[in-house]
């Protein structure tokens, strides 16, 4: 059994005190500095600092990957001080940290240094919402495109059915990895109330619906562009070609060294003017040049992207697709999963995004609900101490199941195993096996602990 349960609510950083609020504010401020410049809100101070320090291919996202890895290594060490007497927790912590360091930090950086596309192999659709967009896949080497499609649509759903979603959420995913390591001191803060559970049902499936809608619209948009491209030589066909080229160059600018910025912008100006655009479109080059003169790489890339959108002939589907994609990227990707997902650790527990927003959790959870993973309960052994519920980061009131002698098959369970680990009576066990009889409906009341 773990140590430290009695101290859980006595430490100021763990009991929603003023200190916890201050930590939360610092985390929010950091994420705003990280994300908002990419949406044109304020200068990209983090990238500017790195460039002034002479870093060329190491941008703020690489720095964030490094910081994230360090947070997981240090947090993992502290987590294992408390829970490392369990082999399950030792192995999954080593695995989470190794995946982060190798696949979410080192490999993308090495590929970038070698001028290859940065591949984040451990992030799949729909968590990484744009992984199956046609224009994302088109930019990848064929092996990587096949990997993302097959893993997202076939391999992971099958693994979720046979092993439960813990194979991903508690062993691979970087978001879950940060929650399990750096976030461990706050895991008990997740609400176990019925109200939270009802909200969770609405929000998580709404985000999933939005991802499906965005992906569907982007596929429809790509099909309509492909049809328009067939009209090369006409004004419409040429504008589509120009727009696609500018969109690619916006990505290239973001990844290229700052000293190539001026030359890239010169080439873009020449390409746009050669296409004899309408006056209002040519005028947008002023914004691109202004950002390039400031040396603002992210700002220049954002301006070129705006130019690409403006150059695209407006079809009903492209207008809607890009609006929905922009909405998702900003409100769900940046604010919800990024800023709130981590910023709320000290106030609402470590899995706010996993529980209320993650579309991957929604898909894998639905599969898990009908699959083989469950937490089995030894009959009539529970003494109702409540440790399991307290430590459940997903807000599942495990005690109620244990007291009712009911095995737990919940879509939201990420299989962290902490409930079984902290149980003083060994009542709970994580298992994968076929249902032995009809599941039946389970009536469970919950308490806000």
Residues contributing to the site for ligand SF4 (CB under 6 A)? 127, 168-169, 173, 175-176, 353-354, 358, 360-361, 375, 382-388, 391-392, 394, 396, 398-399, 402, 413-419, 423-425, 427-428
Q: Which is nearer to ligand SF4, 301 or 422 (CB)?
A: 422
Q: Which is nearer to ligand SF4, 38 or 180 (CB)?
A: 180
Say if CB 357 and CB 373 are below 8 A apart. no
Min dist CB 223 to ligand SF4, Å, is: 29
Q: How many other C-beta atoms can be found within 10 angstroms of the C-beta atom of residue 304?
A: 28
Measured distance CA(427)–CA(430) in Å, rounded:
11
Q: Which is nearer to ligand SF4, 178 or 297 (CB)?
A: 178
Min dist CB 317 to ligand SF4, Å, is: 29
DSSP secondary structure string, 306-339? Answer: HHHHHHSPP-HHHHHHHHHHHHIIIIIIIIIIII
Residue nearest to ligand SF4 (CB): 176
DSSP state of 3: S
Min dist CB 187 to ligand SF4, Å, is: 8
Report how far Cα 116 is from the mean position of its chain's Cα atoms.
22
Q: Which is nearer to ligand SF4, 112 or 374 (CB)?
A: 374
Q: Which is nearer to ligand SF4, 297 or 394 (CB)?
A: 394
Min dist CB 105 to ligand SF4, Å, is: 16
Q: Which is nearer to ligand SF4, 14 or 89 (CB)?
A: 89
Min dist CB 318 to ligand SF4, Å, is: 29
Min dist CB 297 to ligand SF4, Å, is: 29
Q: Name every residue whose Cβ is closer than 8 Å to that of residue 312 and which is 6 or more positions away in sequence.
A: 225, 239, 240, 243, 318
Measured distance CA(412)–CA(201) in Å, rounded:
10
Measured distance CA(305)–CA(319) in Å, rounded:
14
**What are the tokens at 355?**
């529980």
**What are the tokens at 192?**
């176990």
Q: Which is nearer to ligand SF4, 173 or 332 (CB)?
A: 173
Min dist CB 45 to ligand SF4, Å, is: 27
b/e 163-180 (16+ beta carbons within 10 angstroms → b): bbbbbbbbbbbbbbbbbb
Give the chain's end-to-end CA distance (angstroms, integer).
Answer: 20
């Amino acid at each position: 059994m773990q140590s430290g349960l009695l101290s859980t609510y006595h430490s100021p950083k763990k009991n929603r005190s003023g200190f916890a609020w201050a930590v939360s504010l610092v985390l929010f401020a950091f994420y705003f500095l990280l994300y908002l410049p990419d949406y044109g809100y304020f200068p990209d101070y983090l990238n500017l600092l790195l460039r002034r320090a002479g870093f060329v291919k190491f941008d703020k996202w690489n720095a964030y990957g490094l910081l994230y890895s360090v947070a997981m290594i240090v947090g993992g060490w502290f987590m294992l001080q408390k829970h490392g007497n369990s082999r399950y927790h030792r192995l999954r912590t080593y695995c989470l940290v190794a995946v982060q360091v190798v696949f979410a930090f080192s490999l993308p950086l090495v590929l970038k240094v070698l001028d290859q596309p940065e591949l984040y192999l451990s992030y799949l659709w729909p968590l990484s919402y744009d992984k199956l967009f046609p224009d994302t896949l088109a930019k990848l080497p064929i092996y990587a495109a096949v990997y993302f499609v097959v893993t997202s649509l076939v391999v992971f759903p099958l693994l979720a059915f046979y092993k439960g979603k813990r194979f991903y959420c508690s062993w691979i995913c970087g978001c879950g990895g940060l929650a399990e390591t750096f976030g461990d001191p706050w895991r008990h803060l997740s609400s176990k109330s019925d109200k939270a559970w009802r909200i969770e049902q609405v929000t998580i499936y709404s985000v999933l619906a939005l991802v499906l809608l965005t992906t569907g619209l982007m596929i429809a948009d790509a099909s309509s562009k492909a049809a328009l491209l067939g009209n090369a030589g006409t004004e419409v066909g040429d504008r589509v070609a120009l727009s696609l080229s500018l969109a690619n160059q916006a990505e290239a600018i973001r990844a290229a060294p700052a000293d190539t910025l001026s030359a890239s912008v010169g080439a873009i100006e020449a390409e746009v003017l050669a296409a004899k655009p309408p006056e209002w479109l040519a005028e947008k080059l002023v914004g691109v040049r202004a950002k390039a003169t400031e040396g603002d790489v992210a700002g220049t890339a954002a301006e070129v992207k705006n130019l690409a959108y403006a150059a695209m002939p407006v079809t009903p589907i492209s207008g809607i697709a890009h609006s929905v994609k922009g909405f998702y990227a900003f409100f769900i990707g940046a604010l919800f999963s990024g800023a709130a997902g981590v910023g709320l650790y000290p106030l609402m527990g470590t899995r706010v995004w996993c529980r209320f927003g993650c579309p991957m959790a929604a898909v894998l959870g639905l599969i898990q609900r009908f699959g083989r993973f469950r937490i089995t309960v030894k009959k009539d052994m529970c003494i109702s101490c409540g440790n399991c519920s307290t430590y459940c980061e997903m807000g599942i009131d495990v005690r109620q199941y244990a007291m009712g002698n009911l095995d737990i098959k919940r879509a939201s369970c990420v299989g962290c195993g902490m409930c079984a680990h902290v149980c003083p009576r060994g009542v709970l066990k994580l298992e994968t096996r076929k249902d032995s009889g009809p599941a039946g409906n389970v009536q469970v009341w919950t308490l806000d602990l």
